[in-house]
């Protein structure tokens, strides 16, 4: 009996190992996308959102870019860019809010989850707030949105932060809100009802459900999915 249990546990560990390898490989792959630099110039090609190694500038997240499969890649630090897009996933450059400290990079990328007048941003990792080593990998974690952002291509938003994917930080997801990243503030249990009602004001029935406490910060993914569904039905 003991041997059978040991074999089962070993099999589970092997499966988990290969799953982790798959996720790691996926996060490192090149994907079609574009970036917009600080001067407003846009380049389209292949982007690796979560590269390993050190970035060009200490304290900043970065991506890797190449025009096509045959060209040599180069690194772009967060301060070189305004935003980048991979498929339907949009990322913008952000600094740690004044009352927070990100663990690795104080300047990094956050994902635009909802592109409304008051926007919803997402970060992963970090002690006491956002964090770098973020790691919201495009196509793995799911998020939603109703529009492109930062001169990007395409609409809805997925989830996993740019800059340096596996470079450290916790797995905690942190949401921020604001008209721009410059004034973004953290979404909390205390302000959730007011802020999400404001962001989702175009959907009064959903706002009513927020006030009825059918959604909270722990179920925000379901709320975003429902909002996205309702918005698409209007198109």
| More reliable by pLDDT, 170 or 55 | 55
| More reliable by pLDDT, 201 or 98 | 201
Domain covering 28-87: architecture: Roll (2.30)
Task: Decide if pLDDT at 15 tops 90.
Answer: no
Q: Model confidence over 147-206: pLDDT tens digits?
A: 334 333 233 333 333 333 333 334 478 999 999 999 999 999 999 999 999 999 999 999
Of the given ranges (1-10, 58-67, 75-84, 117-126), which has the lowest mean pLDDT? 1-10
Q: What pLDDT was estimated at residue 189?
A: 96
Task: Decide if pLDDT at 130 tops 80.
Answer: no
Place of tokens 């009802």: 193
Sign of CA dihedral 178, 87, 219, 170: negative
Which of 31-40, 92-101, 143-152 has the largest mean confidence? 31-40
Hey, what are 12's tokens?
Answer: 């589970």
| More reliable by pLDDT, 106 or 176 | 176
Is the pTM of the predicted complex or chain greater than 0.75? no
Task: Decide if pLDDT at 214 tops 80.
Answer: yes
Q: How many CB atoms lie within 10 A of CB 129?
A: 18
Please, which residues bridge with residue 92 across strands?
83, 110
Task: Decide if pLDDT at 3 tops 60.
Answer: no
Task: Determine what percent of the chain is predicted with pLDDT higher than 70.
Answer: 67
Mean pLDDT confidence for 203-232: 95
3-class state of residue 89 by DSSP: strand
Confidence of residue 101 (pLDDT cuts 50, 70, 90): confident
Mean pLDDT confidence for 205-231: 96
Task: Decide if pLDDT at 133 tops 70.
Answer: no
Confidence of residue 22 (pLDDT cuts 50, 70, 90): very low
Mean pLDDT confidence for 218-235: 92
In which residue ranges of the chain is CATH 2.30.30 found? 28-87
What is the DSSP-derived secondary structure letter of residue 181? G
Task: Decide if pLDDT at 50 tops 60.
Answer: yes
Q: What pLDDT was estimated at residue 87?
A: 87
Distance in angstroms (rounded) separating the CA atoms of residues 41 and 57:
21
Three-state SS string across 133-144, please? CCCCCCCCECCC
User: Which of 39, 45, 78, 76 lies closest to 60 in space, CA to CA?
Assistant: 78
């Amino acid at each position: 009996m003991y041997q059978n249990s040991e074999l089962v546990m070993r099999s589970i560990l092997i499966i988990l190992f290969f799953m982790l390898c798959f996720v790691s490989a996926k996060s490192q792959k090149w994907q079609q996308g574009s970036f917009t630099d600080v001067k407003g110039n846009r380049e389209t090609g292949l982007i690796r959102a979560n590269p390993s190694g050190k970035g060009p500038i200490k304290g900043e997240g970065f991506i890797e870019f190449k025009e096509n499969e045959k060209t040599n890649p180069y690194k772009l630090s967060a301060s070189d860019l305004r935003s980048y897009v991979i498929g339907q996933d949009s990322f913008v450059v952000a600094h740690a809010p004044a009352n927070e400290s990100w663990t690795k990079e104080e300047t990094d990328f956050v994902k635009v989850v909802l592109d409304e007048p008051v926007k919803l941003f997402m970060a992963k990792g970090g002690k006491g707030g956002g964090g770098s080593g973020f790691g919201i990998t495009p196509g793995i974690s799911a998020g939603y949105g109703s529009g492109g952002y930062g001169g990007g291509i395409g609409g809805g938003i997925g989830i996993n932060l740019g800059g340096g994917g596996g470079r450290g930080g916790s797995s905690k997801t942190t949401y921020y809100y604001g008209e721009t990243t410059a004034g973004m503030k953290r979404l909390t249990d205390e302000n959730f009802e007011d802020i999400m009602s404001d962001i989702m004001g175009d959907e009064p029935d959903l706002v009513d459900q927020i006030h009825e406490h059918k959604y909270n910060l722990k179920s925000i993914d379901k709320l975003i999915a429902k909002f996205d569904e309702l918005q698409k039905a209007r198109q």
